[in-house]
Structure 1
Amino acid sequence: MRIERIEAIPYAIPYARPLKFASGEVTTADHVLIRVHTDTGIMGVADTPPRPYTYGETQDSIVSVVNKVFAPQLLGLDPLDRSKVQQILRRTVHNPTAKGALDIALWDIIGVALSTPVHKLLGGFTDSMRVSHMLGFKPAAELLAEALRFRETYGIDTFKLKTGRRPLSLDIEACHVLREGLGADTEIYLDANRGWTANEAMEVLRRTEGLGLSMLEEPCDAGEAMGRRRLVQHSSIPIVGDESLSTLGDVSRELLSGGSSGVCIKTARSGFTEAQKILGLCEGLGVDVTMGNQIDTQVGSLATVTFGAAFESSSRRAGELSNFLDMTDDLLAEPLEIVAGSIRVREVPGVGAEIDPDKLKKYRQQ
């Protein structure tokens, strides 16, 4: 079996409402669908989310690097030669989500070729993941109303609060209102998207002490090395690295230097192959992980479920899997469902992301 052709298809699907957070705002899923074709007729599928304010990638840059740099080097290779593929991808710096999607598409091919679900090839620990829902920038009362609605409708009882606003009082008030309204047993954690300084983050932790918050993700820029280490040393909850931990090397550096005490794994930027290595490093060091979301479509969320459910340590916490509910449509032929607060893996060969051809025709941009 050989790689015969690679497609990078730009498409755009509007969000029902803008998603706002400290490092940017998203109004449209202007993503790139990756399809890797083999000479046996098997095709692997993955989704690529451009995030210029996080990784520097745009829709145009992803299409260009896949078509002009990666595809010419990968054509003719056996999809099973994953280490050889990784070595080729590493020659080009950055471009994490383009690399991640190619890797996921190759795993999809392998699963179909072996007539086995990819979540079983990876580890097969469980068949579903609990869902965490992301709450964006809104007044505290509206945040609570949204959380209660998602708990009632979907059974979700873990919420990630996007913070990093100024004045700090807006986020602090939201924490108190959510805890009072949702009760003591609901998990609430924060993600500041580098919106604060390390000192501001310490002030927020001081003023929310006793609320039972479970984690604080990317409170400040990792470049604030001394402040970030001081924050980790004095925090009673994990300080989770996300944007600062795009690669295995980044994770190693931040954990060993004391800049983070938890790790957010996102398959959109690491694929399955590097995500396995990151997870193994965290397991060896006794560091908790959470499965994050790159404001993913259902295709991307399915990839996260596939990886997260495969391992015990990545399935302990609820994964961030519900952003697709804010989209006006999706490309999946069979939509994902959140039932009793969880999403199940697809028990079919590969990852199971079958694309609706009519929807792709409708939303593709070239």
Structure 2
Amino acid sequence: MKITAIEAIPFRIPYVKPLKFASGEVHVADHVLVRVRTDDGIVGVAEAPPRPFTYGETQRGIIAVIETIFAPQVVGLSLTDREQLAALLGRTVGNPTAKAAIDMAVGDALGRTLGLTVTELLGGYTDRMRVSHMLGFDQPQAMVDEAERMRDVHGITTFKVKVGRRPASLDVAVVRALREGLGPDVVLYVDGNRGWTASESARAMRQMADLDLAFAEELSPADDVLGRRWLVQQLDVPFIADESATTPAEVTREVLGGSATAISIKTARTGFTGSQRVLHLAEGLGLEVVMGNQIDGQLGSICTVAFGAAHQRSSVHAGELSNFLDMSDDLLTEPLRIENGELALRPGAGLGIEIDDDKLRHYRTDS
């Protein structure tokens, strides 16, 4: 079970419909496929999605740090040396998705080696998750139409609505149109990606007080310490910390400082090992947890399901698992399918998926 090599392969797949939000927009999936090879001939895989406007990583940067720093440190470790792996990767500042992809590829390889699913290795609570779909910036009717299509075709009844535009009335109108168009049984929550100030956020939330929102996420910047604490104290819905709380230390800081009352966990930035640490802290603090989406492809999405389904607390709420539907293609031999509003785990060891070599040859950008 010794790691013999780590590969970082860039690929590029266009989106049919770009996702637009307060901190940027995504038109193309310029991601990195990470492969971990072992002396037993096992290959584990994961996906690293660069988000330079959130974490400062780029596709080329992910490849460089894996090839020049992480791979030389990790080769020779056993797949079971998870704590040593985390310690070695943790010596380098930043680079969260590069670290997470290596951790998850190791988890996939370990599951394949032992003949167990990743979910069984992590906890084995259930075998599926309900799905939440993210709705990016658009005109109100266009967003209602997209949500109705997701409900009618895939059975999705939970929607995360991107907000944070100025004037805030643009987004208030969208959320109101969604509630009126979709009815009272659909779950709606909003994510500002730090686009509003604390006072703009408070005003917008008052204007949406009658719309029965489930959560509010990252409406204002976390480094506006007093403003965000003031904002959270006024809200009657849980306030999710996402990009402001990616480590146990950051979660502790935001929660004890009064700047958050719930947490988003994204395996794309904390892998399986780091995500478990954040989850267990959330359990100890009594925080609600939502499994978030880093605008992942299908490989990244199945990693999220594998982790979220493994634990009771992370499977309570619908996970953000559907934005791969906006990609024009993907790398898996058998595409993921969302049915009746759920995404189920694949049977088979590890993550239960395989990479289509022909598609990888077509979309990779290093050859």
Task: Please say whether Structure 1 and Structure 2 have the same fold, judged by a TM-score greater than 0.5.
Answer: yes
- Higher mean Cα deviation, 186-195 or 244-253? 244-253
Task: Please name the residue that 1:77 is paired with.
Answer: 77
Q: How far apart are residue 247 of structure 1 and its match? A: 1.8
**Match of 1:92?**
92
Q: Distance in 2 between matches of 1:354 and 1:329?
A: 15
The equivalent of 1:51 in structure 2 is: 51
| Aligned match of 2:213 | 213
CA drift at 1:18: 1.6
Give the SS at the match of 1:210: helix
Alignment of 1:178-189 (within 5 A): 178-189=178-189
Q: Which residue of 2 aligns with 1:339?
A: 339
Give the deviation of 1:313 after TM superposition.
Answer: 0.6
Q: What stretches of structure 1 move > 2 A for 4+ residues in a row?
A: none
1-side partners of 2:18 and 2:108: how far apart?
31
User: Could you give the per-residue CA deviations for residues 245-276 of structure 1, whole angstroms, max 9, x where no partner exists?
Assistant: 12222112111111111100000000000100
For residues 170-249 of structure 1, what are the structure 2 equivalents within 5 Å?
170-249=170-249
TM-score norm. by structure 1 comes to 0.99
Partner SS state of residue 329, structure 1: coil
Q: 2:119: which partner in 1?
A: 119
Cα distance in 1 for residues equivalent to 2:5 and 2:280: 32
Instruction: Provide TM-score, normalisation by structure 2.
Output: 0.99
Distance in 1 between the 2:83 and 2:251 partners? 20
Distance 1:109 1:90 in 2: 21
Report the more deviating stretch, 230-239 or 57-66: 230-239
Deviation sequence 1:37-95 (CA, Å, 0-9, x none): 00110111000000000000000000000000000011111110100000000100100
Could you say which residue in structure 2 is the equivalent of 1:168?
A: 168
1:351 positional shift? 1.1
Residue correspondence of structure 1 range 150-169 to structure 2 within 5 A: 150-169=150-169
Distance 2:191 2:259 in 1: 16
Q: What is the CA–CA distance in structure 2 between the aligned matches of 1:318 and 1:213, rounded to whole Å?
A: 14
Q: Distance in 2 between matches of 1:312 and 1:39?
A: 35
CA–CA separation in structure 1 for the residues paired with 2:3 and 2:116:
19
The reply to whether residue 142 of structure 1 matches residue 142 of structure 2 is yes
Indicate the residue corresponding to 2:250 in structure 1.
250
Greater mean alpha carbon deviation, residues 247-256 or residues 172-181: 247-256
Q: What is the aligned-residue RMSD (CA, Å)?
A: 0.7
Instruction: Check whether the contact 1:134–1:160 (CA below 8 A) recurs between aligned residues.
Output: yes
Q: 1:262 aligned to 2:267?
A: no
In structure 2, what is the Cα distance between the partners aligned to 1:353 and 1:57? 26
Q: What amino acid is the match of 2:23? A: S
Q: How does 1:268-283 map to 2 (within 5 A)?
A: 268-283=268-283
Deviation at 1:350, TM superposition (A): 0.5
In the other structure, the counterpart of 2:15 is 15
CA contact (8 A) 1:96 1:246 kept: no
User: Which sections of structure 1, spanning at least 5 residues, go unmatched?
Assistant: none
Distance between the aligned counterparts of 2:38 and 2:255, measured in 1? 39
Deviation at 1:210, TM superposition (A): 1.6
Tell me what 1:40 maps to.
40
- C-alpha separation in 2, matches of 1:17 and 1:175: 20
AA in 1 matched with 2:316: R
SS where residue 53 of structure 2 aligns?
coil
Secondary structure at the counterpart of residue 16 of structure 1 = strand
SS at match of 1:53: coil
CA contact under 8 A between 1:168 and 1:204: conserved in structure 2? yes
1:290-348 deviations in whole A, cap 9, x for unaligned?
Answer: 00000000000000000011111100100001100000000011110001000001121
**1:51 counterpart letter in structure 2:** R
* Deviation of 1:175 (Å): 1.2
> Gapped runs of 5+ residues in structure 2?
none
Determine the C-alpha separation between the residues in 1 that align with 2:181 and 2:27. 29
The residue type equivalent to 2:326 in the other structure is D
User: Distance between the aligned counterparts of 1:347 and 1:255, measured in 2?
Assistant: 37
**Retained in 2: the 8 A contact 1:254–1:260?**
yes
SS in 1 for 2:44: strand
CA distance in 2, matches of 1:364, 1:249: 36
Alignment-mate amino acid for residue 291 of structure 2: M
8 Å contact 1:45–1:353 — kept in the other structure? no
Work out the CA distance in 2 between the residues paired with 1:49 and 1:72: 22
**In the alignment, residue 294 of structure 2 is paired with which amino acid?**
Q
The SS at the match of 2:314 is coil
Cα deviation for residue 9 of structure 1 reads 0.3
